[in-house]
Each structure stands twice: as structure tokens, then as C-alpha cells.
Chains A and B, each alone.
Chain A
Amino acid sequence: MGCALQFRNVTLGYDRHPAVHHLDGEVASGALVAVVGPNGAGKSTLFKGVVGLLKPLAGRIERDAVTAQDIAYLPQAAEIDRSFPINVYDLVAMGLWRHTGVFGGVGRQARGLIENALAAVGLTGFEDRAIATLSGGQTQRMLFARLLLQDARVIVLDEPFNAVDAKTSADLFGLIQRWHGEERTVLTAMHDIDFVRANFPETLLLAREPVAWGSTSTVLTPENLLAARRMCEAFDDHAAACAEAGVMTPATRRACSPPPCGEGLGVGVAVVGAGGAASPTPLPNPPPQGGREQTESVAPP
């Protein structure tokens, strides 16, 4: 079993500011990995790098055996124009792009695949509904049906269970398990720590810097979660350029690994409720930070 993805000292970010800083590691082919971390930790940025929408600022993401076509990606906020006059069937059918391309027909076999995908997500009978008429959970089911049809070796899901009820989450997680059983590689950004503990064998805890990566039980320890929560979200507009690994001076090291929140930002920020990290609850959002270096620039455009 080889590697689906290899991160070689990868730094990803915006306007030279790192959002994922010096990530090293490998995702084994067929792995089911949860990516966990507070808001602004770089989960979405990492995924954009993996699917090739964002070029690394430094380092490399190697996906030897996997072409861009082999990666299916469900972004956190899909850019779907829900007012567009198209029905559920046609939208799900887009998942067959690899087979149909620009001009290929959708034959009987393909229609069978589409019907199976709709049945697998529980949307049989919704074929002719306009996508504008679906609820949030139904929309997510529809997008999973499209993912099913993409038949990709690597599947990247950015917070797929946001604003989705328990029943829908459970149904959709069933599909993720099915993909895992089919030895597809699945990366999923998650906020529900309990759910990750119960269901994901491997976890990457990210807080701009990778905090820990490995089997879920060793990664999601109270100490690691606390460390992740102390992450600084703000970019420093006056940060020095990051030196290559190995030639760090104390000054560049300081610029390179941002100080804990409250240090060096001019305004002290307390990490509120740090004791909560010891209990296995979802990571709360980091407390709002004072100071000029507020976090607007963190958000990707």
C-alpha cells in the first residue's frame, strides 16, 4: 500500500502569509483521515492545496499515482448557484464528467449509475426537483451523490456535516465508510471531536502548524487540543520572511513560528476556558483577538 499524498515541508497561504506552515507527512493510500483544528487553522487551505486550487508558497505536495481527475473535492461552501434552473438528476449527473467529458453521451449504463447514486443518498423520487427547492440536508445528500459518481481514488471533504442534522450525518458517514471499505483515500475536515474519536482511525490536528498527526487516540489528547487552541489566528503584517529550515536565526525563527496568542501582538489575549480542552468537546472557536492585526486577512478571498 503506497502513499496517496506526500507533504514535503509544505507551506500554503495567501499573500505570502502562511495559513498552513511547514507540514510534513504522508497519507497512505486507502487511509481515512480526519483533519481537526479550530477555525482558521488552515484546514480548508490545506485541502485547496491538495486538490490543486492553491499553489504552495514553499515545499511540495506529491501525489504520484493520483492525477487531478482522481481527486473529488467537496468544498466547505460549495459555490452552487441554487437559483439556476437545473434539476437534481442533471446536477448529480455532472459527477460522470470523467466518463462523458464535454461531449460524451449519457447512456443506459450511466443512467443506471445515476439512479443508484440517488438511491444511495436517499434522494430517489427527487430527480425532477429543481435544486432551488431542496433543503440544506438534501442539498448535501445531492452533493454526496455526485461525489459517488465521480468514482475518485482520493476524496476530500471540507466540513461535510456542517449544518446537517444527525440522521443525515449518519447516512452520509455511511457513504464515507463505504469509500473507506473500497480502499479509497478520504480526508475529512471535522469539528465534532467525539465523532472523530468514535469513527476515524487517523487524525491530523492542525493549528496552522501541524500539532499532531497519527492514530486518533494519540493525537486527540487534552494537551494537544490545548496547544491547538492557543494558535494565533492573526497574520503579522510585519513578519520577516521565513528562512529555509536549517538556517534559522533566532529572529527568523520567531517570525517563522508565531508566538502564542497575546505575545508580541501588543494586546494581551487570554485563552478563555482553557480547562475545557481537557474534556472531549468540540473545539470552540478561538476567542476574538484585540489589536490591529485582526483576522480579516486570514480569510481566503
Chain B
Amino acid sequence: MIYDFLLAPFTEFEFMRRALAGVFALALGAGPIGVFLMLRRMSLVGDAMAHAILPGAAVGFLLSGLNLFAMTAGGLIAGVVVALLTGLVARNTELKEDAALATFYLLSLAVGVTIVSLKGTNIDLLHVLFGNVLALDDQTLLLIAGNATLTLLVLALIYRPLVIECVDPGFMRSVSRAGGPAHFAFLALVVINLVSGFHALGTLLAVGIMMLPAAIGRFWARDITQMIVIATASGVVAGYAGLLLSFHSGVASGPAIILVAGALYIASLLFGRVGGLLRQLFPGRHLEA
């Protein structure tokens, strides 16, 4: 009975196994990226970046239909260009990162929509907008897994400068020039994870598997390493439970995954060990020292 409910969907249906593998890979990469975005107060950057990627993917779709490589390349190019321009403007002018990003992602969006309207075809972009985790083919699965691997490797390489750049950017500048490259590498990782995400969850929900687990981690850990572990684990749990929910209730799988993550987030918000609401309401008697 329990077996039927929890495991049978995956043992019986290949598309469910593929979906599970895809979501796990996605959560592995997106978890740590989300934690860094949150700690750098860039939680909405993922969202804006997803908008920036959309036109690139749409152009790829227009030029060669539902072709994985065209859409991925289009999204990557749009995302990386926007990330680079944002970084350059934020580091060299008075505009802060958020303002610089806002300008360029809006431009990217406008260019994308213009190109689509010029072509004049009424194409179905639902796939790009909402993805389909239940229809992952081999290529897409490999792309997602490859991106997750690359993300973890690059993060391991830039982890130290990235953390120092977050805590004390002034110190980072005074001891090394590695801060800038680390920041750009990090933005590139954000982009490739969003590109992974849009194949499975769509551009709009791809951000969900990044930011919700990160916010969950914040309520349970005081240390960045634990935070990353908790975020990644809750992404994995949300992916698994979301697929089950989708399978048994028939709701769309992408939103189901994000809804489960959202439920975990609300539970953390209420019961979290670090700054959870209940903890604040009933802190217990104060200590002696």
C-alpha cells in the first residue's frame, strides 16, 4: 500500500523516473545558488534573470522550433549578456545592481517580444513558460545533469572568494582581484541553472526551486554550510513529493513541485529554529548569561 503510493509511480513509469532524476539534479544545483542569491539580497535577481532568458529562448524556438540546443543557446546568450552588462554597469557607475539589472532585463524582454511579433506567427510558448518535467528526453536530462555538475564544480572553486565578497567586499578588494571574476562566474551559474530550470519547470517557476529552498534553509541554520545542505535537501524533498502529488492528483507537475516547496517554507516560517514565528512568540524564559 505504502509502496504503491510512494514508489510504484517511479518503478512503473519511465517518464516518472526521468522526471525524478531531472528534479533531483535541478535541486542539487539550484539549492546552493539560491542560498547565495538570498544572502547577497539578490532574491529577485533570479526572477528578473528568468525574464531576461525568456526572449533568448523564444528566439531559439522561432528559428528552429522545439530544438533543445537552439532554445538553450538562445537563453544562455540572452542571460549571459544581461548578466555581464549588469555587472559592468553596477561596478563602474552610480547605478546599483538592482537598477542595472532592471534596465537590461526589460530591454531584453522588449527585444524578445519585438522579434516574436515581427515573425508574426502565433507560436505556442507555453512550453517555455511552464516547462514540462514529465516530458524530459535524454538530451534534456543530460543538459540538466551536466549543468548541475558544472554548478557544483565551479561553486567549489569560487566558494571562498564568493563568501568573502558577500561578507566583506571591502576586504576582498584589498587582498585580491578574485572578487569580480567570482561574482561574474556566480551570475553565469545563475543563468545556466535557470536554463536548466526552464526545461523542467518553465522560466517562471524555475526560480521557485532556487529561492524557496534557500528561504527554508535560513529558518533552520545559522551557518552557511548547513544552510546550503538544508536548502538542497528541501529542494530534493519538494521535487519528490511534488511529483507524487502531481501523479496522484493529476495537477501539473511544475506547480505541484513549487507548491510542496511552498508548504515546506510556510512550515519553516512558523516552526523554524532560527527566527521562526512561533519561536519569536514563545521564546521561553531568558537565560542566566
Contact B168 A79 (CB under 8 A): yes
Closest to A104 in B: B160
Any B CB within 8 A of the CB of A85 = yes
Give the distance to chain B from A138, nearest Cβ to Cβ, in Å.
Answer: 16
Q: Which residues of B have CB within 8 Å of A227? A: none
Q: Is B152 an interface residue (CB 8 A)?
A: no
Q: Report the stretch among B24-32, B52-60, B220-228, B250-258 that lies at the interface.
A: B220-228
Question: Looking across the interface, which residue of chain B has its beta carbon closest to that of A69?
Answer: B175
Contacting residues of chain B (145-198) with chain A, CB-CB under 8 angstroms: 157-158, 160-161, 163-164, 166-171, 173-176, 178
**Per-residue 0/1 for A80-108: is the Cβ within 8 Å of any B Cβ (1 yes, 0 no)?**
11001111000100100110111100000
**Beta-carbon contact of A102 and B171 below 8 Å:** no
Counting chain B CB atoms within 10 Å of each CB, which of A68, A84, A150 scores highest?
A: A84
A301→B94 contact, CB < 8 A: yes
Q: How far is the CA of A179 from the CA of B167 in the complex (A)?
A: 26
CA distance A102 to B161 in the complex (A): 6
> Is there a chain B Cβ closer than 8 Å to A53's Cβ?
yes
Q: Does B125 contact A (CB under 8 A)?
A: no
Q: Is B39 an interface residue (CB 8 A)?
A: yes
Q: Give Cα A146 to B170, complex, Å.
A: 14
Looking at chain A, what size class is its interface with the partner chain? 20 to 34
A108 to B171, CA, bound (A): 24
User: Chain B CB within 10 Å — which of A78, A85, A87, A101 has the most?
Assistant: A85
Considering the complex, give the chain B residue whose CB is closest to the CB of A87.
Answer: B223
Given the contacts A79-B168, A103-B157, A85 and B174 also touching, CB distance less than 8 Å:
no
Tell me the interface secondary structure of chain B in the complex: helix
CB neighbours of B94 from chain A (8 A): 301
**Chain B residues closer than 8 Å to A91, beta-carbon distance:** 167-168
| Contact partner, A102, options B160, B221, B223, Cβ 8 Å | B160
Give the complex CA separation of A97 and B171 in angstroms.
10
B229 to chain A, nearest CB (A): 13
Contact flag A51-B174 (CB < 8 Å), given A81-B167, A94-B168: yes
- Please give the distance in Å from B268's CB to the nearest CB on chain A: 15
The interface residues of chain B lying within 8 Å CB-to-CB of A98 are: 175
B-side contacts of A80, CB under 8 Å: 167-168
A157 sits at the interface (CB 8 A): no
Assuming the contacts A73-B174, A97-B175, asked whether A85 and B39 have C-beta atoms less than 8 A apart, the reply is yes
B 191-224 to A, binary, CB cutoff 8 A, 1 in contact else 0: 0000000000000000000000000000001111
Q: Do A102 and B222 contact each other (CB < 8 Å), given the known contacts A85-B227, A91-B167?
A: no
Contact (A94, B171) CB under 8 Å given A84-B166, A86-B163: yes
Query: Given the interface contacts A102-B161, A103-B160, does A130 sit within 8 Å of B222 by beta carbon?
Result: yes
Are the C-beta atoms of B170 and A85 separated by less than 8 Å? Answer: no
Taking A51-B174, A86-B224, A94-B171 as contacts, is the C-beta distance between A81 and B160 under 8 angstroms?
Answer: no
Q: Assess whether A75 is interfacial by the CB under 8 Å rule.
A: yes
Chain B neighbourhood of A51, CB < 8 A = 174
Contacts known (A69-B175, A97-B176); A85 close to B160, Cβ less than 8 A: no
A71 interface residue per 8 A CB criterion:
yes
Q: Lowest 8 A-B CB distances belong to which pairs?
A: A79-B170, A84-B167, A97-B175, A73-B174, A80-B168, A85-B224, A79-B169, A130-B222
Which of B's residues lie within 8 Å of A, judged by CB? Answer: 39, 94, 157-158, 160-161, 163-164, 166-171, 173-176, 178, 221-224, 227
User: Could you list 8 A-B pairs, sorted by A, with CB under 8 Å?
Assistant: A71-B174, A79-B170, A94-B168, A94-B171, A97-B176, A102-B178, A130-B222, A301-B94
